[in-house]
Structure 1
Amino acid sequence: MRAAVVNGFGGPERVEIVRVPVPRPGAGQVLVRVRAAGINPVDGAVRAGVFGGEGQRIGFGWDLAGEVDELGADVTGWAVGDRVVGLHYGPVKPLGTHAEYAVLDASALAAAPAGVDDVTAAGLPLSGLTAARAVDQLGLAPGSTVLVTGAAGMVGGLAVQLAARAGLVVTALAGAEDEAFVRGLGAAGFVPRGSAPAGPVDGVLDAAVLGEPALGFVRDGGVYVGLRPHAAPAAERGIRVVEQEVAADGAHLARLASLVDAGALTLRVAETYPLAEAAGAHAHLTKSGTRGRIVLTLP
């Protein structure tokens, strides 16, 4: 099968398409025929060597949409041909989801949203689980105020929708040109990028990874949730600081998929590239202002 990998760190030009054997599922695992796979900022970090692994062949891709192709031993609840979405956790791995086939733990899979195609569904696992976990970790009661930074991005936009659905009063921080868009997602208030909210908020969900400046927007005793491990600012003024890290969770992913089907969660696709043009997708990833997920397609 074909797979996108990197054998030496650097820019998008280091991405290679190689032929490797189709992996086989072990006990509790499922082989998925990948139809679409999101490319995320973490893939660019892998390519640049942020997570290490020098001298290894490293595969790309955390999320996918496709069909069950083979079941490992002891797997129940799935059948060959089922449409699924899933999260393949881990930055340094020989193969990821940017390949014609991928092996995932059965517990990492959920039925794909029935109302959207594979390209659209491929943007749900990593961004959706990241946003949902961050909203949960805010731990705020309905009616509390929360500021979502980077609210027009993929994770930020999903966080705005999920936080509003949880009954939080959401203020979105984004570029001025995105005000109408983020209000349409459910934001009650808006702050242009580079500005500060009118007053302190109960919590900040820092999708833009602003760090200390975003912490300054939180009231004494509030909460700050960061989305990049080991990058959160130091706690102060009694603020609870949480460093969010995503995890594969098929049950939670299934709940998100049901929200997509109910029209309560909007997914966005910025651009598609065939797997053979994965290097071009990585180049696109370096551009600012992308709205929605870049997706690799596999016929």
Structure 2
Amino acid sequence: MRAVGLLRHGGPEVLRVVELPTPHAGVGEVRIRVRAAGVNPADTLIRAGLTPVRLRGADPLLPGQDIAGTIDEVGPGTSGALAPGDPVMAMINPTREAGGGYAEWVVLPESWVALAPAGVSHAEAATLPLNGLTALHALDQLRLPPGSTLAVTGAAGAVGGYAVQLAKAAGHRVLADAAPADVGRVAALGADTTVTRGPDVADQFREHAPDGVDAAVDTALIGGALLPAVRDGGAVALLRGGPDPVLLAQANERRITMVAAYVHDYDGRRDKLDLLRQLAEEGKLTLRVAGRFAPEEAARAHQLLEAGGVRGRMVIEF
């Protein structure tokens, strides 16, 4: 089978099309004929060697943490919930021996795979698992009662956009930040109020929530500069790790709870993927494809992502 991998860590140029043995479904597993694989910031970090996911021996390392396609093989001992021909989506943990999802075929435990939203393309479905589950995990940890006021930074991005829409689906008031060119896009996602991104974003949030927001999801990695927007006793969900000691001390002074969104806590959680599917089918989640690339163009996709400004997710189509 064809796959996109790397034989050494480095820049986008290290990505290449490789030939690998086609896997088969074992006990409790299903095989997906991958039609689209999402290109995410985590993939660029894996490629660059900046994560614990590293090359092992002479075998190519495959990035890729979310895929969409069709079931084409079902192993013994599965529940029967998925059958050949079913359109599906899945999130992959790239630390597994087979690596990530930049490949024509991927084998996963059945519980890791869910039906794709009805009526969407494979490319659209591939934008949902990793980013949707990241936003959902952040909100689940915040445990906000309906009617809470939530601030979302980086709302025009993939995770931020899903955070806005998931929060609205849960009945919250949402304040979001955006660059001037993205204000209309973020408003269309459902944000109640949009402020201008920048160093004074916390002050702007306070203008619309004088007592402070109940919580914030910091997808833009603003960190300590966001704390003044949060009320005493509130909460902040962080992406890419927990708080550093300085940020934690600042938060503790005001009894602000810091939680870290770690998407792979939801590995194998078909119930969470099914929730995202349902919300997408109801029109409450917008699946945004920023670009489609052939496997031979994977390096270009990584270059564009690292240049910044991508809205939605790019996908590699097999």
TM-score by length of 1: 0.95
1:293 aligns with 2:310: no
Which amino acid letter does the alignment assign opposite residue 27 of structure 1? V
Instruction: Check whether the contact 2:65–2:130 (CA below 8 A) recurs between aligned residues.
Output: yes
User: Where does residue 112 of structure 2 map in the other structure?
Assistant: 108
Cα distance change of structure 1 residues 49 and 231 upon mapping to structure 2, 3 Å threshold: farther
Distance in 1 of aligned mates of 2:197 and 2:25 = 46
Cα distance change of structure 1 residues 91 and 174 upon mapping to structure 2, 3 Å threshold: farther
Q: Which runs of 5+ in 1 are unaligned?
A: none
1:223 aligns with 2:244: no
The SS at the match of 1:216 is helix
Which amino acid letter does the alignment assign opposite residue 231 of structure 2? R
Cα distance change of structure 1 residues 69 and 3 upon mapping to structure 2, 3 Å threshold: same
Deviation at 1:95, TM superposition (A): 3.0
Distance in 1 of aligned mates of 2:259 and 2:242 = 10
User: Where does residue 220 of structure 2 map in the other structure?
Assistant: 208
1:239 aligns with 2:259: no
Q: Which has the higher helix share?
A: 2
Which amino acid letter does the alignment assign opposite residue 90 of structure 1? P
Which amino acid letter does the alignment assign opposite residue 251 of structure 1? D
Q: What are the residue-to-residue correspondences of 1:1-299 with 2, within 5 Å? A: 1-52=1-52, 53-54=54-55, 56=57, 57-76=60-79, 77-91=81-95, 93-194=97-198, 195-196=200-201, 197=205, 198=207, 199=210, 200-231=212-243, 233-234=247-248, 235-236=251-252, 237-246=254-263, 247-248=266-267, 249-298=269-318
Distance in 1 of aligned mates of 2:70 and 2:55 = 33
Deviation at 1:70, TM superposition (A): 1.1
Distance in 1 of aligned mates of 2:197 and 2:294 = 34
Instruction: Check whether the contact 2:149–2:173 (CA below 8 A) recurs between aligned residues.
Output: yes
The SS at the match of 2:46 is helix
Deviation at 1:161, TM superposition (A): 0.7
Instruction: Check whether the contact 1:51–1:91 (CA below 8 A) recurs between aligned residues.
Output: no
- Give aligned pairs, total: 298
The SS at the match of 1:79 is coil
Distance in 2 of aligned mates of 1:179 and 1:283 = 25
Deviation at 1:54, TM superposition (A): 4.6
Instruction: Check whether the contact 1:37–1:63 (CA below 8 A) recurs between aligned residues.
Output: yes
The SS at the match of 2:311 is coil
Distance in 2 of aligned mates of 1:68 and 1:265 = 24
Q: Which runs of 5+ in 2 are unaligned?
A: none
Identical counterparts, % of pairs: 44
Instruction: Check whether the contact 2:242–2:259 (CA below 8 A) recurs between aligned residues.
Output: no
